[in-house]
Amino acid sequence: METTAGPAVLYQKLLLWDPSLESEEEETSELVAPDAWRPQDASGNKAGRLPGAWARLVAALLLLAVGFSLAVRQLHTSGGSAAPAPSGHAHPPGVYHHGAVVSPAATCSRLGRELLVAGGNVVDAGVGAALCLAVVHPHATGLGAMFWGLFHNSTAGRSTALTPGPARTLAPGLGLPSALPALHLLHTHLGRLPWPRLLVGPAALAQDGFLVDTALASALAAQGTDGLCPLLCHTDGTPLGPGARATNPSLAAVLRRAALAPTPDLAGDALLSLLARDLGLEGPSPGPAATLEPALQLPVPQGILSTTPSPSAGPELLVRVEAALRPGAPSPDPCPPLPQAPGSPGSSVLATIDSSGSVLLLSSSLNSSFGSGLLSPSTGVLLSNLVAESASSGWACPLILHGGSDDTEADVLGLVASGSPVVARVMTRALISHLAGPQTQAQQQQQGTTQSPSLCGQGTLLQVAAHAEHAHVSSVPSGCCTFQGF
Protein backbone atom coordinates (compact mmCIF):
# COMPACT_ATOMS: atom_id res chain seq x y z
CA MET A 1 0.00 0.00 0.00
CA GLU A 2 1.37 3.35 -0.99
CA THR A 3 0.33 6.94 -0.65
CA THR A 4 0.44 9.41 -3.48
CA ALA A 5 2.59 12.48 -3.24
CA GLY A 6 2.00 16.10 -4.11
CA PRO A 7 -0.33 18.85 -2.99
CA ALA A 8 -4.09 18.69 -3.28
CA VAL A 9 -5.47 19.88 -6.59
CA LEU A 10 -7.97 22.73 -6.54
CA TYR A 11 -11.21 21.27 -7.86
CA GLN A 12 -12.80 23.79 -10.22
CA LYS A 13 -15.08 21.82 -12.50
CA LEU A 14 -17.11 23.55 -15.20
CA LEU A 15 -20.62 24.62 -14.31
CA LEU A 16 -22.99 21.68 -14.28
CA TRP A 17 -25.67 23.96 -15.66
CA ASP A 18 -24.93 26.33 -18.52
CA PRO A 19 -27.36 29.27 -18.85
CA SER A 20 -26.42 29.62 -22.50
CA LEU A 21 -28.14 26.29 -23.25
CA GLU A 22 -31.43 27.63 -21.96
CA SER A 23 -31.19 30.79 -24.06
CA GLU A 24 -30.41 28.74 -27.17
CA GLU A 25 -33.47 26.56 -26.59
CA GLU A 26 -35.68 29.62 -26.17
CA GLU A 27 -34.42 31.20 -29.40
CA THR A 28 -35.01 27.95 -31.30
CA SER A 29 -38.56 27.63 -30.08
CA GLU A 30 -39.34 31.20 -31.13
CA LEU A 31 -38.13 30.54 -34.67
CA VAL A 32 -39.55 27.08 -35.22
CA ALA A 33 -42.93 27.11 -33.49
CA PRO A 34 -44.71 29.73 -35.67
CA ASP A 35 -43.72 27.97 -38.91
CA ALA A 36 -45.00 24.69 -37.56
CA TRP A 37 -48.51 26.14 -37.36
CA ARG A 38 -48.66 26.72 -41.14
CA PRO A 39 -48.64 24.09 -43.90
CA GLN A 40 -45.63 24.00 -46.19
CA ASP A 41 -44.99 22.44 -49.55
CA ALA A 42 -42.11 20.06 -50.25
CA SER A 43 -39.72 22.94 -50.96
CA GLY A 44 -40.37 24.47 -47.57
CA ASN A 45 -42.48 27.41 -48.87
CA LYS A 46 -45.73 28.22 -47.10
CA ALA A 47 -48.67 26.76 -49.04
CA GLY A 48 -51.10 29.39 -47.91
CA ARG A 49 -52.32 31.48 -45.03
CA LEU A 50 -55.36 30.93 -42.85
CA PRO A 51 -57.69 33.88 -42.37
CA GLY A 52 -56.54 36.04 -39.48
CA ALA A 53 -59.27 35.01 -37.02
CA TRP A 54 -58.86 31.30 -37.69
CA ALA A 55 -55.07 31.60 -37.46
CA ARG A 56 -55.32 33.30 -34.09
CA LEU A 57 -57.77 30.67 -32.86
CA VAL A 58 -55.51 27.79 -33.92
CA ALA A 59 -52.50 29.49 -32.34
CA ALA A 60 -54.41 30.03 -29.10
CA LEU A 61 -55.51 26.41 -28.97
CA LEU A 62 -51.97 25.19 -29.59
CA LEU A 63 -50.58 27.46 -26.91
CA LEU A 64 -53.23 26.22 -24.50
CA ALA A 65 -52.32 22.61 -25.28
CA VAL A 66 -48.62 23.30 -24.80
CA GLY A 67 -49.25 25.11 -21.52
CA PHE A 68 -51.43 22.25 -20.25
CA SER A 69 -48.75 19.72 -21.22
CA LEU A 70 -46.06 21.66 -19.37
CA ALA A 71 -48.27 21.96 -16.29
CA VAL A 72 -48.91 18.21 -16.24
CA ARG A 73 -45.20 17.56 -16.67
CA GLN A 74 -44.37 19.89 -13.77
CA LEU A 75 -46.88 18.17 -11.50
CA HIS A 76 -45.50 14.79 -12.50
CA THR A 77 -41.85 15.65 -11.85
CA SER A 78 -42.38 17.64 -8.64
CA GLY A 79 -43.11 14.46 -6.70
CA GLY A 80 -39.97 12.63 -7.75
CA SER A 81 -36.25 13.02 -7.12
CA ALA A 82 -35.12 13.11 -10.71
CA ALA A 83 -35.20 16.18 -12.91
CA PRO A 84 -36.31 15.69 -16.52
CA ALA A 85 -33.40 14.90 -18.79
CA PRO A 86 -32.34 17.68 -21.19
CA SER A 87 -32.87 15.39 -24.18
CA GLY A 88 -36.36 14.43 -23.02
CA HIS A 89 -35.65 10.75 -22.33
CA ALA A 90 -36.20 9.26 -18.87
CA HIS A 91 -33.95 7.28 -16.55
CA PRO A 92 -34.74 4.93 -13.67
CA PRO A 93 -34.40 6.31 -10.12
CA GLY A 94 -30.81 6.91 -9.15
CA VAL A 95 -29.50 7.69 -12.66
CA TYR A 96 -28.80 11.30 -13.60
CA HIS A 97 -27.19 13.24 -16.42
CA HIS A 98 -25.12 15.70 -14.37
CA GLY A 99 -24.75 14.92 -10.69
CA ALA A 100 -26.44 13.50 -7.61
CA VAL A 101 -26.51 13.48 -3.82
CA VAL A 102 -27.53 10.62 -1.55
CA SER A 103 -28.00 11.11 2.20
CA PRO A 104 -30.14 9.76 5.06
CA ALA A 105 -32.37 12.89 5.08
CA ALA A 106 -34.51 13.94 2.13
CA THR A 107 -34.21 17.62 3.08
CA CYS A 108 -30.43 17.46 2.95
CA SER A 109 -30.33 15.57 -0.34
CA ARG A 110 -32.52 18.29 -1.85
CA LEU A 111 -30.26 21.00 -0.45
CA GLY A 112 -27.21 19.30 -1.96
CA ARG A 113 -28.93 19.07 -5.33
CA GLU A 114 -29.78 22.78 -5.21
CA LEU A 115 -26.10 23.58 -4.71
CA LEU A 116 -25.20 21.45 -7.74
CA VAL A 117 -27.81 23.20 -9.87
CA ALA A 118 -26.49 26.57 -8.65
CA GLY A 119 -23.10 25.76 -10.20
CA GLY A 120 -21.45 24.13 -7.22
CA ASN A 121 -19.29 21.03 -7.45
CA VAL A 122 -19.56 17.79 -5.48
CA VAL A 123 -17.61 19.28 -2.56
CA ASP A 124 -20.05 22.19 -2.25
CA ALA A 125 -23.00 19.80 -2.40
CA GLY A 126 -21.47 17.39 0.11
CA VAL A 127 -20.43 20.02 2.64
CA GLY A 128 -23.81 21.76 2.38
CA ALA A 129 -25.62 18.46 2.89
CA ALA A 130 -23.36 17.62 5.86
CA LEU A 131 -24.17 20.95 7.54
CA CYS A 132 -27.86 20.26 6.87
CA LEU A 133 -27.58 16.84 8.53
CA ALA A 134 -25.95 18.57 11.51
CA VAL A 135 -29.29 20.36 11.97
CA VAL A 136 -31.89 17.69 11.14
CA HIS A 137 -30.11 14.52 12.37
CA PRO A 138 -28.64 15.50 15.76
CA HIS A 139 -28.77 11.87 16.87
CA ALA A 140 -26.13 10.82 14.32
CA THR A 141 -24.03 13.86 13.44
CA GLY A 142 -23.61 17.56 14.14
CA LEU A 143 -21.12 20.34 14.76
CA GLY A 144 -19.89 18.31 17.72
CA ALA A 145 -19.09 15.31 15.50
CA MET A 146 -15.81 14.14 14.01
CA PHE A 147 -15.64 14.00 10.19
CA TRP A 148 -13.61 11.85 7.80
CA GLY A 149 -13.83 12.45 4.06
CA LEU A 150 -12.55 11.09 0.75
CA PHE A 151 -12.56 13.15 -2.45
CA HIS A 152 -11.66 12.03 -5.97
CA ASN A 153 -10.90 14.67 -8.58
CA SER A 154 -11.74 13.19 -11.96
CA THR A 155 -9.95 16.02 -13.76
CA ALA A 156 -6.59 15.21 -12.21
CA GLY A 157 -7.24 11.54 -11.40
CA ARG A 158 -6.18 12.20 -7.80
CA SER A 159 -7.78 11.28 -4.46
CA THR A 160 -7.52 13.32 -1.26
CA ALA A 161 -8.44 12.38 2.30
CA LEU A 162 -9.92 14.70 4.93
CA THR A 163 -8.52 13.69 8.32
CA PRO A 164 -9.97 15.31 11.45
CA GLY A 165 -6.83 15.24 13.58
CA PRO A 166 -6.56 13.54 16.95
CA ALA A 167 -9.67 13.44 19.12
CA ARG A 168 -9.34 15.77 22.10
CA THR A 169 -11.33 16.38 25.24
CA LEU A 170 -13.19 19.59 25.95
CA ALA A 171 -14.15 18.32 29.41
CA PRO A 172 -14.22 14.87 31.02
CA GLY A 173 -16.26 12.59 28.77
CA LEU A 174 -16.89 15.32 26.18
CA GLY A 175 -15.21 15.44 22.79
CA LEU A 176 -13.90 18.73 21.44
CA PRO A 177 -15.98 19.87 18.41
CA SER A 178 -14.05 19.74 15.15
CA ALA A 179 -16.71 19.67 12.40
CA LEU A 180 -16.71 23.35 11.41
CA PRO A 181 -12.94 23.73 10.85
CA ALA A 182 -12.77 20.35 9.06
CA LEU A 183 -15.63 21.10 6.65
CA HIS A 184 -14.37 24.64 6.09
CA LEU A 185 -10.90 23.32 5.25
CA LEU A 186 -12.37 20.87 2.75
CA HIS A 187 -14.41 23.59 1.09
CA THR A 188 -11.62 26.18 1.05
CA HIS A 189 -9.28 23.94 -0.96
CA LEU A 190 -11.75 21.98 -3.08
CA GLY A 191 -15.08 23.81 -3.22
CA ARG A 192 -16.35 26.33 -5.73
CA LEU A 193 -19.28 28.33 -4.35
CA PRO A 194 -18.72 31.02 -1.67
CA TRP A 195 -18.60 29.55 1.85
CA PRO A 196 -21.60 31.60 3.13
CA ARG A 197 -23.76 30.14 0.33
CA LEU A 198 -23.36 26.67 1.86
CA LEU A 199 -24.64 27.79 5.26
CA VAL A 200 -27.77 29.62 4.08
CA GLY A 201 -29.97 26.51 3.90
CA PRO A 202 -28.83 24.85 7.16
CA ALA A 203 -29.14 28.14 9.08
CA ALA A 204 -32.66 28.67 7.74
CA LEU A 205 -33.67 25.14 8.74
CA ALA A 206 -32.35 25.68 12.26
CA GLN A 207 -34.07 29.07 12.59
CA ASP A 208 -37.41 28.43 10.88
CA GLY A 209 -37.74 24.77 11.82
CA PHE A 210 -37.47 21.35 10.26
CA LEU A 211 -39.77 18.34 10.32
CA VAL A 212 -38.68 15.42 12.48
CA ASP A 213 -38.21 12.40 10.20
CA THR A 214 -38.59 8.73 11.03
CA ALA A 215 -34.89 8.20 11.76
CA LEU A 216 -34.72 11.01 14.31
CA ALA A 217 -38.07 10.09 15.87
CA SER A 218 -36.97 6.46 16.29
CA ALA A 219 -33.71 7.54 17.92
CA LEU A 220 -35.62 9.84 20.27
CA ALA A 221 -38.06 7.10 21.23
CA ALA A 222 -35.17 4.76 22.04
CA GLN A 223 -33.03 7.38 23.81
CA GLY A 224 -35.55 9.38 25.76
CA THR A 225 -35.43 13.15 26.14
CA ASP A 226 -33.09 13.50 29.13
CA GLY A 227 -30.87 16.48 28.32
CA LEU A 228 -32.54 17.09 24.95
CA CYS A 229 -35.36 19.38 26.05
CA PRO A 230 -36.66 21.76 24.92
CA LEU A 231 -34.97 21.19 21.53
CA LEU A 232 -36.59 17.83 20.76
CA CYS A 233 -39.46 17.73 23.24
CA HIS A 234 -43.07 18.78 23.46
CA THR A 235 -44.00 21.17 26.25
CA ASP A 236 -44.97 18.21 28.44
CA GLY A 237 -41.48 16.70 28.04
CA THR A 238 -42.44 13.88 25.67
CA PRO A 239 -40.24 13.34 22.60
CA LEU A 240 -41.22 14.81 19.26
CA GLY A 241 -42.69 12.31 16.81
CA PRO A 242 -42.50 12.04 13.03
CA GLY A 243 -43.76 15.18 11.32
CA ALA A 244 -43.38 17.44 14.37
CA ARG A 245 -41.52 20.71 13.79
CA ALA A 246 -38.31 21.42 15.68
CA THR A 247 -36.27 24.62 15.76
CA ASN A 248 -32.75 25.38 16.99
CA PRO A 249 -32.25 29.19 16.99
CA SER A 250 -28.97 28.97 18.90
CA LEU A 251 -27.48 26.68 16.27
CA ALA A 252 -28.78 29.01 13.54
CA ALA A 253 -26.88 31.87 15.17
CA VAL A 254 -23.69 29.78 15.24
CA LEU A 255 -24.04 28.92 11.55
CA ARG A 256 -24.65 32.56 10.62
CA ARG A 257 -21.59 33.58 12.62
CA ALA A 258 -19.53 30.90 10.88
CA ALA A 259 -20.68 32.24 7.51
CA LEU A 260 -19.51 35.77 8.36
CA ALA A 261 -16.24 34.93 10.13
CA PRO A 262 -13.20 35.98 8.05
CA THR A 263 -11.34 32.79 9.00
CA PRO A 264 -12.48 29.36 10.20
CA ASP A 265 -10.34 29.78 13.33
CA LEU A 266 -12.43 32.76 14.43
CA ALA A 267 -15.64 30.80 13.85
CA GLY A 268 -14.27 27.87 15.83
CA ASP A 269 -13.00 30.08 18.65
CA ALA A 270 -16.38 31.75 18.99
CA LEU A 271 -18.08 28.36 19.24
CA LEU A 272 -15.58 27.14 21.84
CA SER A 273 -15.99 30.31 23.90
CA LEU A 274 -19.75 29.76 24.11
CA LEU A 275 -19.28 26.09 24.97
CA ALA A 276 -16.75 26.95 27.67
CA ARG A 277 -19.22 29.41 29.19
CA ASP A 278 -21.97 26.78 29.25
CA LEU A 279 -19.64 24.26 30.90
CA GLY A 280 -18.11 26.71 33.36
CA LEU A 281 -14.61 26.32 31.92
CA GLU A 282 -11.98 29.05 32.22
CA GLY A 283 -11.31 29.24 28.50
CA PRO A 284 -11.60 27.29 25.28
CA SER A 285 -9.19 24.48 24.58
CA PRO A 286 -7.26 24.47 21.30
CA GLY A 287 -9.09 22.65 18.56
CA PRO A 288 -7.83 19.61 16.66
CA ALA A 289 -6.17 20.42 13.36
CA ALA A 290 -7.94 18.84 10.41
CA THR A 291 -5.75 18.15 7.39
CA LEU A 292 -6.02 17.30 3.72
CA GLU A 293 -3.54 14.66 2.64
CA PRO A 294 -3.05 12.13 -0.15
CA ALA A 295 -5.39 9.18 0.17
CA LEU A 296 -4.12 5.75 1.12
CA GLN A 297 -4.01 3.68 -2.07
CA LEU A 298 -3.80 0.10 -3.29
CA PRO A 299 -3.29 -0.78 -6.99
CA VAL A 300 -5.53 -3.63 -8.15
CA PRO A 301 -6.06 -5.11 -11.63
CA GLN A 302 -9.27 -3.11 -12.04
CA GLY A 303 -7.69 0.25 -11.14
CA ILE A 304 -6.66 1.98 -7.91
CA LEU A 305 -8.43 1.74 -4.54
CA SER A 306 -8.31 4.87 -2.38
CA THR A 307 -9.37 5.26 1.24
CA THR A 308 -8.64 7.23 4.39
CA PRO A 309 -5.42 6.68 6.38
CA SER A 310 -5.02 5.56 10.00
CA PRO A 311 -6.53 5.89 12.57
CA SER A 312 -9.59 5.24 10.41
CA ALA A 313 -10.48 1.70 9.35
CA GLY A 314 -9.15 2.43 5.85
CA PRO A 315 -5.88 0.45 6.27
CA GLU A 316 -7.81 -2.56 7.59
CA LEU A 317 -10.13 -2.33 4.60
CA LEU A 318 -7.28 -2.43 2.07
CA VAL A 319 -5.69 -5.40 3.84
CA ARG A 320 -8.96 -7.31 3.60
CA VAL A 321 -9.46 -6.41 -0.05
CA GLU A 322 -5.88 -7.31 -0.98
CA ALA A 323 -6.24 -10.72 0.66
CA ALA A 324 -9.58 -11.37 -1.05
CA LEU A 325 -8.14 -10.51 -4.49
CA ARG A 326 -5.16 -12.85 -4.30
CA PRO A 327 -5.31 -15.67 -6.91
CA GLY A 328 -7.08 -18.68 -5.46
CA ALA A 329 -8.21 -16.81 -2.37
CA PRO A 330 -11.62 -17.86 -1.06
CA SER A 331 -14.43 -15.38 -1.16
CA PRO A 332 -14.80 -13.24 1.98
CA ASP A 333 -16.42 -14.97 4.91
CA PRO A 334 -20.19 -14.55 5.11
CA CYS A 335 -21.39 -11.76 7.39
CA PRO A 336 -23.88 -13.19 9.87
CA PRO A 337 -26.23 -10.76 11.60
CA LEU A 338 -24.22 -9.28 14.44
CA PRO A 339 -25.89 -7.22 17.14
CA GLN A 340 -24.14 -3.90 17.53
CA ALA A 341 -22.03 -4.04 20.66
CA PRO A 342 -23.06 -1.64 23.44
CA GLY A 343 -21.17 1.60 23.10
CA SER A 344 -19.83 0.84 19.63
CA PRO A 345 -19.73 4.05 17.59
CA GLY A 346 -22.57 4.84 15.23
CA SER A 347 -22.09 7.14 12.28
CA SER A 348 -23.75 9.12 9.53
CA VAL A 349 -22.72 9.01 5.87
CA LEU A 350 -23.45 10.84 2.64
CA ALA A 351 -22.11 10.83 -0.91
CA THR A 352 -22.08 13.15 -3.91
CA ILE A 353 -20.96 12.44 -7.48
CA ASP A 354 -21.00 14.09 -10.88
CA SER A 355 -21.18 12.39 -14.26
CA SER A 356 -17.48 13.01 -14.93
CA GLY A 357 -16.54 10.80 -11.96
CA SER A 358 -15.66 13.34 -9.26
CA VAL A 359 -16.81 11.97 -5.89
CA LEU A 360 -17.01 13.13 -2.28
CA LEU A 361 -17.74 10.64 0.50
CA LEU A 362 -18.24 11.89 4.07
CA SER A 363 -18.55 9.91 7.29
CA SER A 364 -19.12 11.46 10.73
CA SER A 365 -19.81 10.29 14.26
CA LEU A 366 -20.90 11.52 17.68
CA ASN A 367 -19.89 8.07 19.02
CA SER A 368 -23.18 7.27 20.78
CA SER A 369 -26.69 8.15 19.69
CA PHE A 370 -27.03 11.88 20.49
CA GLY A 371 -23.38 11.78 21.57
CA SER A 372 -22.97 12.69 25.22
CA GLY A 373 -26.60 13.78 25.40
CA LEU A 374 -25.39 17.18 26.61
CA LEU A 375 -27.01 20.03 24.71
CA SER A 376 -25.18 23.36 24.91
CA PRO A 377 -27.88 26.05 25.42
CA SER A 378 -25.74 28.87 23.99
CA THR A 379 -24.89 27.02 20.75
CA GLY A 380 -27.59 24.41 20.20
CA VAL A 381 -24.77 21.87 19.71
CA LEU A 382 -24.88 18.34 21.06
CA LEU A 383 -21.40 17.44 22.26
CA SER A 384 -20.01 14.03 21.36
CA ASN A 385 -18.53 11.53 23.77
CA LEU A 386 -16.01 10.58 21.08
CA VAL A 387 -12.83 11.20 23.06
CA ALA A 388 -9.30 9.83 22.74
CA GLU A 389 -10.08 6.53 24.47
CA SER A 390 -12.96 5.70 22.11
CA ALA A 391 -11.68 7.30 18.90
CA SER A 392 -10.42 4.28 16.99
CA SER A 393 -12.52 5.60 14.07
CA GLY A 394 -13.39 2.05 13.04
CA TRP A 395 -16.62 3.53 11.67
CA ALA A 396 -14.75 5.42 8.93
CA CYS A 397 -13.44 3.75 5.77
CA PRO A 398 -14.86 5.39 2.62
CA LEU A 399 -13.61 3.68 -0.53
CA ILE A 400 -13.20 4.83 -4.14
CA LEU A 401 -12.19 2.64 -7.09
CA HIS A 402 -10.87 4.60 -10.04
CA GLY A 403 -8.35 4.47 -12.88
CA GLY A 404 -4.82 5.84 -12.68
CA SER A 405 -3.86 9.49 -13.19
CA ASP A 406 -3.40 8.79 -16.93
CA ASP A 407 -6.88 7.23 -17.24
CA THR A 408 -9.31 9.98 -16.29
CA GLU A 409 -12.06 8.56 -18.53
CA ALA A 410 -12.42 5.29 -16.58
CA ASP A 411 -15.54 4.46 -14.58
CA VAL A 412 -15.48 5.46 -10.92
CA LEU A 413 -17.09 3.66 -7.96
CA GLY A 414 -17.56 5.07 -4.45
CA LEU A 415 -18.67 3.15 -1.34
CA VAL A 416 -19.30 4.38 2.19
CA ALA A 417 -21.06 2.55 5.06
CA SER A 418 -22.33 3.44 8.52
CA GLY A 419 -23.69 1.93 11.68
CA SER A 420 -21.49 -1.14 12.00
CA PRO A 421 -18.62 -2.40 14.15
CA VAL A 422 -17.60 -4.57 11.17
CA VAL A 423 -17.87 -1.87 8.51
CA ALA A 424 -14.61 -2.87 6.78
CA ARG A 425 -16.00 -6.37 6.21
CA VAL A 426 -19.19 -4.93 4.76
CA MET A 427 -17.21 -2.73 2.38
CA THR A 428 -14.97 -5.61 1.30
CA ARG A 429 -17.92 -7.82 0.39
CA ALA A 430 -19.63 -4.97 -1.47
CA LEU A 431 -16.49 -4.26 -3.51
CA ILE A 432 -15.82 -7.94 -4.31
CA SER A 433 -19.43 -8.31 -5.39
CA HIS A 434 -19.05 -5.32 -7.70
CA LEU A 435 -15.80 -6.65 -9.21
CA ALA A 436 -17.31 -10.10 -9.72
CA GLY A 437 -19.55 -8.75 -12.46
CA PRO A 438 -23.24 -9.40 -13.15
CA GLN A 439 -22.71 -12.96 -14.41
CA THR A 440 -20.75 -14.10 -11.36
CA GLN A 441 -23.23 -12.41 -9.04
CA ALA A 442 -26.12 -14.19 -10.75
CA GLN A 443 -24.35 -17.56 -10.36
CA GLN A 444 -23.73 -16.90 -6.66
CA GLN A 445 -27.35 -15.93 -6.13
CA GLN A 446 -28.50 -19.18 -7.74
CA GLN A 447 -26.18 -21.11 -5.41
CA GLY A 448 -27.37 -19.13 -2.41
CA THR A 449 -23.85 -17.98 -1.51
CA THR A 450 -24.41 -14.23 -1.49
CA GLN A 451 -25.68 -12.19 1.38
CA SER A 452 -26.81 -8.60 1.53
CA PRO A 453 -24.13 -6.31 2.96
CA SER A 454 -26.76 -4.73 5.18
CA LEU A 455 -26.93 -7.95 7.21
CA CYS A 456 -23.36 -7.39 8.33
CA GLY A 457 -23.87 -3.96 9.70
CA GLN A 458 -27.48 -3.22 10.55
CA GLY A 459 -26.69 0.17 9.06
CA THR A 460 -26.52 1.67 5.61
CA LEU A 461 -24.29 1.29 2.58
CA LEU A 462 -24.20 4.02 -0.07
CA GLN A 463 -22.87 3.37 -3.56
CA VAL A 464 -22.19 6.01 -6.21
CA ALA A 465 -20.73 5.47 -9.65
CA ALA A 466 -19.97 7.35 -12.85
CA HIS A 467 -20.62 5.28 -15.96
CA ALA A 468 -21.42 6.15 -19.57
CA GLU A 469 -21.47 9.89 -18.79
CA HIS A 470 -24.14 9.45 -16.12
CA ALA A 471 -24.12 9.58 -12.32
CA HIS A 472 -25.54 6.51 -10.58
CA VAL A 473 -26.52 6.32 -6.89
CA SER A 474 -28.01 3.54 -4.75
CA SER A 475 -28.21 2.44 -1.14
CA VAL A 476 -28.59 -0.68 0.99
CA PRO A 477 -31.21 -1.01 2.31
CA SER A 478 -32.93 0.67 -0.60
CA GLY A 479 -35.35 2.72 1.50
CA CYS A 480 -32.81 4.13 3.96
CA CYS A 481 -31.70 7.15 1.96
CA THR A 482 -32.92 9.71 -0.54
CA PHE A 483 -31.42 10.33 -4.00
CA GLN A 484 -31.54 13.78 -5.53
CA GLY A 485 -29.94 14.72 -8.85
CA PHE A 486 -30.44 16.23 -12.25
- Run of H or E residues at 349: strand 346-354
Alpha carbons 445 and 433: distance in angstroms, whole number: 11
Give the separation between CA 264 and CA 309, rounded to whole angstroms: 24
The pLDDT assigned to 331 comes to: 67
**Higher-confidence residue: 401 or 343?**
401
- Which of 215, 218, 212, 209 has the alpha carbon at shortest distance from 244? 212
**Domain of residue 445, residue span:** 94-209+247-485
The answer to which of 24-38, 88-102, 240-254, 329-343 has the lowest mean pLDDT is: 24-38
How many domains is the chain built from?
1
Q: What is the pLDDT of residue 250?
A: 95
Indicate the range of 29-43, 161-175, 386-400 predicted with least confidence.
29-43
Confidence of residue 389 (pLDDT cuts 50, 70, 90): low
Residue 67: inside a domain, yes or no? no
pLDDT band at 336 (very low <50, low <70, confident <90, very high): very low
User: Which of the residue ranges 215-219, 323-327, 395-399, 439-443 would you say has the lowest mean pLDDT?
Assistant: 439-443
Q: In angstroms, rounded to a whole number, what is the distance separating the alpha carbons of residues 424 and 299? A: 18
Query: Average pLDDT of 437-460?
Result: 46
Instruction: Specify the range with the lowest mean pLDDT, choosing from 70-84, 97-111, 369-383.
Output: 70-84
- Read off the pLDDT band of 327 (50, 70, 90): confident
Any domain includes 220:
no
Q: What is the mean pLDDT of residues 312-337?
A: 79
Residue 28 predicted with pLDDT over 90: no
Answer whether residue 43 is part of any domain.
no
Assigned domain for 201 exists: yes
Is the pLDDT assigned to residue 18 strictly greater than 60? Answer: no
Model confidence at 324: pLDDT above 80: yes
Nearest to 482 by CA among 355, 349, 363, 370: 349
Whether the Cβ atoms of residue 251 and residue 143 lie closer than 8 Å to each other? yes
Out of 24-28, 153-157, 346-350, 414-418, least confident range: 24-28
Q: What is the mean pLDDT of the segment spanning 48-58?
A: 44
Mean pLDDT of 105-122: 97
Query: What is the distance between the alpha carbons of residues 269 and 256, in angstroms, rounded to a whole number?
Result: 14
Contact assessment for residue 207 and residue 252, using Cβ atoms and an 8 Å cutoff: yes
pLDDT at 272: 84
Is 193 inside any structural domain?
yes
Q: What is the pLDDT of residue 166?
A: 84
Query: CA-to-CA distance for 360 and 374, rounded, in angstroms?
Result: 30
Q: Average pLDDT of the chain?
A: 78
Which of 45-54, 158-167, 274-283, 332-341 shows the lowest mean pLDDT across its residues? 45-54
Question: What are the residues whose beta carbons fall under 8 Å from the beta carbon of 44, sequence distance 6 or more?
Answer: none
Indicate the pLDDT class of residue 251, thresholds 50, 70 and 90: very high
Q: Is 214 domain-assigned?
A: no
Residues 84/69, Cβ–Cβ less than 8 Å: no
- What are the pLDDT digits (tens) for 297-321? 999 988 999 999 998 999 999 999 9
Round to whole Å and give the CA distance between 131 and 154. 24
What percent of the chain has pLDDT above 90?
A: 48
Q: Average of pLDDT values for 428-450?
A: 57
Q: CB–CB of 381/144 below 8 Å?
A: yes
Preceding omega of 311 cis (within 30 degrees of 0) = yes
Q: How does residue 119 score in pLDDT terms, banded at 50, 70 and 90? A: very high
Number of H helices and E strands in the chain, helices first, is: 12, 21
Cite the DSSP H helix spans in 98-239. 106-117, 122-136, 179-190, 195-208, 214-223
Which range has the worst mean pLDDT, 82-96, 155-169, 344-358, 395-409? 82-96
Contact 414, 399 (CB under 8 A): yes
- The residues with which 158 forms a beta bridge, in sequence order, are 153
Stretch among 160-164, 281-285, 455-459 having the lowest mean pLDDT: 455-459
Q: pLDDT-derived band of residue 239, with 50, 70 and 90 as boundaries?
A: very high
Tell whether the model's pLDDT for residue 428 goes beyond 60.
yes
| Residue 58 within any structural domain of the chain | no
Identify the pLDDT of residue 27.
Answer: 33
Among the residue ranges 96-110, 328-342, 343-357, the one predicted with the least confidence is: 328-342
Whether residue 53 is contained in a domain is answered as no
